[in-house]
């Protein structure tokens, strides 16, 4: 199957932001495009708005005047569904209600030919359920664009239970011909991005609800240590708290209230109070004119230790040893009988500095945990956590050590897995499970998470960097501390951790 021919008319039903964006993508790619909206006059207004955006593309020298004029000539608003007859692809972008979408597509089947591709841009409803109302469900597929559609490259091409392989392939190739990066996935709650991304928000909210850190500090750690473009609190303020919570609730319900997808009570209270983010002027942050942005917690300067003792190779944090040496701090090696594969530094105070492993500082006599970083050399902030009984000397030496490496230090509460580590571990777990269930390939999951939500690495890229067993080991420890089921690693993750290129061991 190949992409639709450029002479083939494409229709977009629904002329809101997404509908206009999808229409613009198809139009610029070279198709004749027809716009329809059930509300009288909206299709013509949408056509005018698209024309204005084409003008701006000419001003930015992304289109020539001739290309703009040709595109405008191919754009036709229609006042009735019958005006979509003869189209080879119809993309729906109407309200997120199953009954509305089903009724629309049943009506479309009376207008278009049986070989016309029908596609929904739904982000939260079941493609299978929408297509289940159709006479010819095999030609029905999900084409989930991301907002703004003309700018963001990712398109999730979703096959429902009844979708024909040929229809999905043609939709995939068409999206690619439009200059997008398509990823193929099966119809699962949240598809790829909205399923795998849930822990990014959920774990930030969980740390906040446990009084581990305030929103500004969590966001700063996710950005400056984890390498994420935005923190969870600022991102949900941008998305809209009501929109983000609605997706979370939809995925949770679709997975039969699986505790791993449980919504946040703190976010529910925010929505109930009308603090929805930028669009209302207040969310987790105050976005009103003149409001001051809260600063993340940053520790006061402290003296670094004269030396550290490396007990093990520090695992994913191994590059810290070079940074410590470069800062002029002596790195001593542990006695041979003490060496292991641990991730610890012994401090002159007698305490230990340990990479987040899912346990609590409260479980040990004198331990400070430090969080995972995408790149310890480039990270500008590191989070530390400790228990109430941890010695102040150990905390000060741990703080001074990272400050000597040029990092800002945020000291947070004693929460298992800290911030970045628990977030990345849970993202990896959901991604591995999705692949094991046939939702998508590892490559497509990584592509989707990098392009759809701007993650610095895809889940499998993280896993290759950290080691196959890292996420499962951390989640095992978190589950031991908090056995609610939320952190129990999936069976798929266990199998993934056990897998190697060649198994030499036999039962």
Dump the DSSP string for 17-58: HHHHHHHHHHHHHT--EEEE-SSTTHHHHHHHHHHHHHHHHH
Q: How far apart are CA 131 and CA 316, in angstroms?
A: 46
Residue 458 has pLDDT above 60, yes or no: yes
DSSP of 148-197, one letter per residue? Answer: STTT--EEEEEE-TT--HHHHHHHHHHHHHTT-EEEEEE--TTTTHHHHT
Judge whether 480 counts as a catalytic residue: no
Residue 241 has pLDDT above 70, yes or no: yes
**Residues in contact with 299: Cβ distance below 8 Å, sequence separation at least 6, in sequence order:** 384, 399, 403, 408, 409, 410, 411
Residue 313 has pLDDT above 90, yes or no: no
More confident residue, 334 or 267: 267
Q: How far apart are CA 12 and CA 251, in angstroms?
A: 26
Residue 388 has what pLDDT?
95
Residue 335 has pLDDT above 80, yes or no: no
pLDDT bracket for residue 339 (50, 70, 90): very low
Q: pLDDT digits over 23-34, tens only?
A: 999 999 999 999
- Mean pLDDT, residues 420-449 taken together: 98
CA distances from 307 to 287, 322, 328, 495 (A): 45, 13, 9, 40
333 DSSP β-pair partners: 310
The helix/strand/coil state of 376 is coil
Q: How far apart are CA 101 and CA 142, in angstroms?
A: 12
Q: pLDDT digits over 383-430, tens only?
A: 999 999 999 999 999 999 999 999 999 999 999 999 999 999 999 999
Q: Which residue has the tokens 């940074």?
A: 323
Q: How far apart are CA 370 and CA 399, in angstroms?
A: 10
Of 185, 237, 204, 209, the residue nearest 424 (C-alpha): 204
Residue 337 has what pLDDT?
52
Residue 500 has what pLDDT?
62
Residue 75 has what pLDDT?
97
The helix/strand/coil state of 91 is strand
Residue 507 has pLDDT above 60, yes or no: no
CA 83 to chain centre: 38
The two structure tokens encoding residue 225: 């240590």
Judge whether 82 counts as a catalytic residue: no
pLDDT bracket for residue 341 (50, 70, 90): low
Contacts 24+ apart (CB under 8 A), 269-273: 270/241, 271/241, 271/242, 271/245
Judge whether 326 counts as a catalytic residue: no
Residue 342 has what pLDDT?
66
**Residues in contact with 239: Cβ distance below 8 Å, sequence separation at least 6, in sequence order:** 277
Which of the following is catalytic: 92, 121, 144, 477?
144
- Mean pLDDT, residues 292-308 taken together: 97
Dihedral of CA atoms 172, 177, 181, 187 in degrees, nearest 10, equals -20
- Mean pLDDT, residues 298-323 taken together: 94
The helix/strand/coil state of 303 is coil
Residue 334 has what pLDDT?
84
Is the Cα torsion angle 199, 205, 210, 216 positive or negative in sign?
positive
Q: How far apart are CA 182 and CA 154, in angstroms?
A: 6
Which of the following is catalytic: 123, 361, 410, 463?
123
Average pLDDT, the chain: 95
DSSP of 223-253, one letter per residue? Answer: HHTT--SS-HHHHHHHH-HHHHHHHHHHHHH
Q: How far apart are CA 26 and CA 180, in angstroms?
A: 11
Q: Which residue has the tokens 């699962």?
A: 188
Count the neighbouring beta carbons within 10 Å of the beta carbon of residue 341: 9
Q: How far apart are CA 443 and CA 458, in angstroms?
A: 9
Q: How far apart are CA 235 and CA 125, in angstroms?
A: 22
Which of the following is catalytic: 159, 194, 244, 264?
194
Could you check whether the bond before residue 51 is cis, i.e. omega within 30 degrees of 0?
Answer: no
In the DSSP assignment, the letter for residue 384 is E
The two structure tokens encoding residue 341: 């594969």
The pairing of beta strand 154-159 with beta strand 181-186: parallel
Between helices 215-224 and 232-239, what is the axis angle to 10°? 100
Residue 472 has pLDDT above 90, yes or no: yes
Q: Which residue has the tokens 């969980």?
A: 206
Judge whether 144 counts as a catalytic residue: yes
Residue 205 has what pLDDT?
98
Which of the following is catalytic: 92, 121, 124, 156?
156
367 DSSP β-pair partners: 352
**pTM for the complete prediction?**
0.95
In the DSSP assignment, the letter for residue 311 is E
Backbone angles phi, psi at 376, to 5 degrees: -65, -25
Residue 405 has what pLDDT?
98
pLDDT bracket for residue 124 (50, 70, 90): confident
Q: How far apart are CA 449 and CA 196, in angstroms?
A: 8
Query: What is the spatial order of strands in the sheet that 330-333 belongs to?
Result: 330-333, 307-311, 344-346, 352-355, 367-370, 381-386, 408-412
């Amino acid at each position: 199957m190949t992409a639709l021919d450029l002479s083939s008319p494409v229709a977009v039903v629904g002329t809101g932001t997404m509908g206009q964006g999808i229409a613009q993508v198809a139009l610029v790619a070279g198709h004749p495009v027809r716009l329809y909206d059930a509300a009288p006059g909206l299709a013509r207004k949408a056509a005018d708005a698209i024309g204005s955006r084409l003008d701006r593309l000419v001003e930015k020298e992304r289109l020539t005047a001739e290309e703009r004029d040709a595109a405008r000539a191919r754009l036709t608003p229609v006042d009735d569904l019958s005006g979509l007859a003869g189209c080879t692809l119809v993309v729906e972008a109407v309200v997120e209600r199953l009954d509305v979408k089903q009724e629309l597509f049943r009506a479309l089947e009376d207008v278009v030919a049986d070989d016309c591709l029908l596609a929904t841009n739904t982000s939260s409803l079941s493609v299978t359920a929408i297509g289940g109302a159709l006479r010819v469900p095999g030609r029905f597929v999900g084409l989930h664009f991301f907002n703004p559609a003309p700018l963001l490259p990712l398109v999730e091409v979703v096959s429902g239970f009844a979708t024909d392989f040929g229809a999905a392939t043609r939709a995939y190739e068409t999206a690619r011909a439009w200059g997008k990066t398509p990823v193929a996935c099966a119809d699962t709650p949240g598809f790829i991005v909205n399923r795998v991304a849930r822990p990014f928000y959920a774990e930030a909210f969980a740390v906040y609800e446990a009084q581990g850190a305030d929103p500004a500090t969590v966001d700063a750690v996710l950005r400056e240590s984890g390498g994420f473009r935005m923190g969870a609190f600022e991102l949900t303020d941008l998305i809209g708290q009501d929109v983000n919570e609605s997706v979370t609730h939809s995925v949770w319900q679709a997975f039969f209230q699986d505790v791993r997808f449980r919504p946040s009570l703190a976010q529910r209270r925010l929505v109930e109070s009308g603090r929805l983010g930028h669009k209302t002027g207040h969310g987790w942050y105050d976005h009103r004119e003149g409001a001051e942005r809260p600063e993340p917690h940053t520790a006061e300067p402290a003296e670094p230790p004269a030396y550290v003792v490396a007990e093990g190779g520090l695992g994913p944090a191994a590059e810290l040893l070079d940074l410590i040496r470069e800062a002029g701090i002596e790195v001593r090696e542990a006695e041979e009988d003490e060496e292991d594969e641990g991730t610890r530094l012994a401090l002159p105070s007698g305490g230990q500095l340990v990479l987040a492993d899912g346990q609590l500082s409260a479980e040990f006599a004198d331990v400070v945990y430090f969080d995972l970083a995408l790149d310890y050399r480039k990270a500008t902030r590191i989070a530390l956590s400790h228990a109430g009984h941890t010695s102040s000397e150990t905390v000060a030496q741990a703080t001074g050590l990272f400050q000597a490496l040029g990092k800002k230090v945020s000291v947070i509460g004693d929460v298992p897995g800290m911030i970045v580590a628990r977030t990345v571990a849970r993202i990896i777990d959901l991604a591995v499970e999705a692949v094991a269930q046939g939702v998508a390939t590892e490559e497509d999951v990584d592509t989707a998470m990098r392009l759809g939500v701007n993650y610095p690495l895809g889940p499998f890229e993280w896993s290759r960097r950290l080691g196959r067993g890292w996420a499962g080991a951390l989640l095992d420890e978190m589950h031991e501390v908090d056995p609610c089921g939320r952190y129990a690693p999936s069976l798929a993750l266990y199998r993934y951790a056990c897998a190697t290129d060649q198994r030499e061991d036999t039962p």
